[in-house]
Amino acid sequence: MSVLTVDVATEDIHYPLKIQKGLLNQLAEEIKSVYKNKKIAIVTDQNVYHYYGEQVVTQLTDAGFEIEMIILEPGEQAKSMENLQAIFSRLIAFGLSRSDLMIALGGGVIGDLAGFAAASYLRGIDFVQVPTTLLAQVDSSVGGKVAIDLPEGKNLVGAFYHPKLVIIDPEVLTTLADSTFNDGMAEVIKYGCIHDAQFFNQLKGYQTRAEVMADIEDVIAICCTIKRDLVQSDEKDTSERMLLNFGHTVGHAIEAYYHYEKYTHGQAISIGMVAINRLTEALGLSENGSTAAIEAILKQYQLPTELTVVSDYKYILPLIKNDKKNIQNALFVVVLDAIGSSRTMAAPVDFFSPLLKGHES
């Protein structure tokens, strides 16, 4: 088993992140190590419940816990104010007290929603993350950001709220659709790009999903370590943590322009990583050939590396300019000096304009 400890020293927050194939079978024991009461509310979605619900409920009930299972419809639309309210009502009816526990069992959607419910119910109750997608295991379950969406936009209401424990069982990834697995691979590749050339090469070496799965504990541990280290040095997302946004400025604008329907998050940041690096390589800021290397590895995982309609950048670029992270007319972009080495740089708001010009003729 790999055990990482997340330490947010400024807030005296310390908790373990445990990674091991088959760990879900030891969930009850793991929960007992951090929780002494009886009542547990579990938030999950229908897909995850279908595969793992009974196993989890039986195990925890047999161990003496009293379980309330809250099963939501899958998909981003679950991260809503309506569901938050519905969860609160179920928790009250169940009699969940300030000293009881919530478990988030699912992908990033469930982690974000249940995490925010835990952060705000009775001014905050303990929660445990059991992430079940690759994206959630390497990204959303680490770092303490929890949120819901508003009709006006994604993640507009949320908190920084850390779990007591993160339980990562990579075996649950076997039931993921290929596209959802590859979506997570986009973030995995991002970690190689921003921080670890050797890891990037390791990822290049895998030919199939099965080959990735053979090393998956190691792959997840490397990603979580990089994110943990960046988060610890900058919990509130003002400097170091911004490196995690490599490819995300363009990616977020792409997702938003197509109303989160045409491209998944992983696909959008895949296009975004290639786009930003193409610009910085042309400016001589990134190593020659780095864009081609990034494109090649993303294609290995069936991820798109360019918009299907490149002229749509004329609508997407204005969204980048309006990004809430812009400060005094400057954008913060993540520049790879080379694969495995990155820094942030302030850039003018029209920094991305060549993405369109390059394709106009």
Ligand X SMILES: NC(=O)c1ccc[n+]([C@@H]2O[C@H](COP(=O)([O-])OP(=O)(O)OC[C@H]3O[C@@H](n4cnc5c(N)ncnc54)[C@H](O)[C@@H]3O)[C@@H](O)[C@H]2O)c1
The footprint of ligand X (CB under 6 A) covers 45, 47-48, 51, 74-76, 79, 106-110, 112, 132-133, 135-136, 139-140, 143, 145, 155, 172, 175-176, 180, 183
Nearer to ligand X, 107 or 304 (CB): 107
CB of 356 to ligand X, least distance (A): 27
Rounded to the nearest whole angstrom, what is the least distance from the CB of residue 126 to ligand X in the complex? Answer: 18
Nearest CB to ligand X, comparing residues 180 and 202:
180
Closest separation in Å from C-beta 318 to ligand X:
22
Residues 6 or more apart in contact with residue 116 via CB below 8 angstroms:
84, 146, 147, 148, 157, 158, 159, 161
Looking at the Cβ atoms of 186 and 279, the one nearer to ligand X is 186
Report how far residue 243's alpha carbon sits from residue 319's, in angstroms, rounded to the nearest whole number: 21
To ligand X, the closest distance from the beta carbon of 71 in angstroms equals 11
Tell me if 311 sits within 8 A of 356, measured CB to CB: yes
- What minimum distance in Å lies between the beta carbon of 32 and ligand X? 24
Nearer to ligand X, 43 or 293 (CB): 43
The end-to-end CA distance of the chain, in Å, is 55
**Alpha-carbon gap, residue 235 to 11, rounded angstroms:** 10
- Note the helical H segments in the chain: 27-32, 46-48, 54-62, 81-94, 108-120, 134-135, 178-195, 197-205, 209-214, 216-233, 248-257, 265-282, 290-300, 313-321, 354-357
Q: Of 285, 289, 307, whose CA–CA distance to 297 is shortest?
A: 289
Question: Cα–Cα distance between 110 and 117 in angstroms, integer?
Answer: 10
Nearest approach, Cβ of 47 to ligand X (angstroms)?
A: 3
The residue (of 48 and 96) whose beta carbon lies closer to ligand X is 48
Please name the amino acid found at residue 13. I
Smaller CB distance to ligand X: residue 304 or 313? 304
Residue with tokens 């619900």: 53
CB-nearer residue toward ligand X: 108 or 340 = 108
Which of 111, 192 has the CB closer to ligand X? 111
Q: Which is nearer to ligand X, 100 or 139 (CB)?
A: 139
Least Cβ distance, residue 44 to ligand X (angstroms): 9
Sign of the C-alpha dihedral, residues 76, 79, 80, 85? positive
**Can you name the residues that pair with 143 across neighbouring β-strands?**
none
Distance CA 277, CA 189 (A): 14
Q: Whole-number minimum distance, CB 349 to ligand X, in Å? A: 24
Sheet-wide strand order for 101-106: 2-8, 13-19, 165-168, 126-131, 101-106, 39-45, 66-72
Task: Tell me how far, at minimum, the Cβ of 52 lies from ligand X, in Å.
Answer: 7
CB 69 within 8 A of CB 91: no
Q: Which two tokens stand for residue 349?
A: 């708001």
Q: Cα–chain-centroid distance for residue 171?
A: 18
Q: Which residues of 201-230 are buried (b: 16+ CB within 10 A; e: fewer)?
A: ebbeebeebeebbeebbebbbbbbbbbbeb
CB of 58 to ligand X, least distance (A): 18
Select 243 or 347, whichever has its Cβ closest to ligand X. 243
